[in-house]
Structure 1
Amino acid sequence: MLEKAFKTRAFTVICLALLLTCSWAIPQQALANSEEQPKQGIPKRRIGGGTRGQCFSSVGRLMALVPENNLGFTKKAYPNILFYLPPTSSSAMVEFVLQDENRQSVYETTFTKSSAGGIINFSLPESSSLPPLDINKKYNWYVSLICDPENRANDIVVNGWIQRVELDSNLNKQLEQTTSPLGLVALYAKAGLWQDALATLAELRATQPNDSRLAVNWTQLLKTEKLDAIAQEPFLEIQIPNSP
């Protein structure tokens, strides 16, 4: 049953100048609850279609930074979600939507991007309008590049899934005792927590863009899921409207 439900893949990733064997397969805590998960396949589109109109770009495509199976795991109640916005001919509106397993919207916001392309490390806000993610529940998130506000059928859209899992006491203790951000990346990666490993390493890359060791680790981590085409792209700062 579990073999049919989840695809286990092992790979090697350089992280903290150490050789770690990591798997973005579902963590053991989530495996125990797999019978409760929806049986339907996960709709996925992590790379958007060709740009057009106001969103025209000769290079790059909208991209959700998620594993190939489109599902990333996190230990956090309010995790970070990453995606790549391609350069556009002018500024454009971007919409972010988070839905629960029943396709009910639990959070949505819009913001304006400049014509520049780059990576967004988006943090779900801790606010009264957004409850913490439920443990062992999948959430579907969408990013839409709005090319024509008068005709949303022309949007370029990508999506990813995220699932919060409960960690065992030993791993939680290791995480609490780790003071180095790079040490956290290694532990997250080893535990299969793609979302947290990626977000933590992205924060380090954004603040230390000239650190060659971080650059190598970042590229290798993205390469494990065939996302390294955007490894050299800059990080973009965005202004998100305040949540109530």
Structure 2
Amino acid sequence: MYQKLFIILTNIFSLGLIQLLSFLLWSEMTMAQGKSGYVPPPPAKERRQSVTSGGSRGCPNQRDVSLTLLVPSYHIPTTISPHPTLLLYIDNIPSQPLLFTLVEPGVSEPLLKNKLTVKRPGIIQINLPSDSPTLEVNKEYYWTVSILCNEKRPSENAYARAVIKRIPLTAELRQKLNATTNTLTQAQIYAQSGIWYDAITTSYQAYIEAPNSNAPAYFWQLLQQIGLKSRLIEKFANHR
């Protein structure tokens, strides 16, 4: 009896310690970013992986190709857009096309399914068309990018998958965004509000618009915050 009680108390303590450490890590990151960096949302009671990958590392008769979705892995990233833009990085040009799918959990048929042809390595933008199904507020979705090594055997396809959740646009955030037309400033507003997808895509847009400004440094800062290595970020710059 006492042994079972000890095990139960130990498990409760361990779960509490994990949640405490997660909260302390979040607090430290939040304070470290100051007023300009990405402020992630508070950790949920149940920590959840938001990025997964798998499958073959490369297709036959071609160099290995790896996919990197530009999203954090330690919490569910959000957007306020009904048709957001998604970013990924690919290090080589695959001989096969990419397949993009958007799925609502519990629904068998994808909401959106498109083939993409990669013409150069680097950052790829995936724009959800305005006539595609709208992301509903407060609902999570999965988006997946696969290299179609074998359409008949999906298990042989290299893939990366991430979660996206649309949240409501608050009156306060709308007011802040409407108060400026500067793309970089808008990216910083999104980042400070913890809205990852809109922060990273808007900062990349600022990067494209003004490559000799502070925008590239801010874009890299956001990527560094979610754990992407500096050497990878340098590749982003080279392949932009």
Is the structural similarity TM-score above 0.5? yes
1:62 corresponds in structure 2 to 67
Residue 50 in structure 1 maps to residue 52 in structure 2: no
Structure 1 unaligned segments of length 5 or more: list them.
Answer: 236-244
Query: 1: CA distance between counterparts of 2:62 and 2:127?
Result: 24
| Alignment of structure 1 residues 80-91 onto 2, 5 Å | 80-88=85-93, 91=95
Give how far 1:103 is off. 4.1
Percent identity for Structure 1 against Structure 2: 23
2:11 corresponds in structure 1 to none
Bigger helix share? 2
2:141 corresponds in structure 1 to 139
Q: How many pairs were matched up?
A: 212
TM-score computed with the length of structure 1 as normaliser: 0.75
Q: 1:21 to 1:216 in 2, by over 3 A?
A: closer
Query: 1: CA distance between counterparts of 2:175 and 2:127?
Result: 24
CA contact (8 A) 1:85 1:120 kept: yes
| Alignment of structure 1 residues 118-133 onto 2, 5 Å | 118-127=122-131, 130-133=132-135
Query: 2: CA distance between counterparts of 1:103 and 1:26?
Result: 29
CA contact (8 A) 1:91 1:112 kept: no
Bigger strand share? 1
TM-score computed with the length of structure 2 as normaliser: 0.76
CA contact (8 A) 1:95 1:108 kept: yes
Q: 1:47 to 1:181 in 2, by over 3 A?
A: farther
Q: Which 4+ runs in 1 deviate beyond 3 A?
A: 39-44, 46-49, 148-152
Residue 102 in structure 1 maps to residue 106 in structure 2: yes
Query: 2: CA distance between counterparts of 1:167 and 1:26?
Result: 18
Give how far 1:149 is off. 4.2
Query: 1: CA distance between counterparts of 2:124 and 2:75?
Result: 18
Structure 2 unaligned segments of length 5 or more: list them.
Answer: 1-17
| Aligned residues: CA RMSD | 3.0
**Higher RCO by CA contacts (8 Å cutoff, separation 6 or greater):** 1
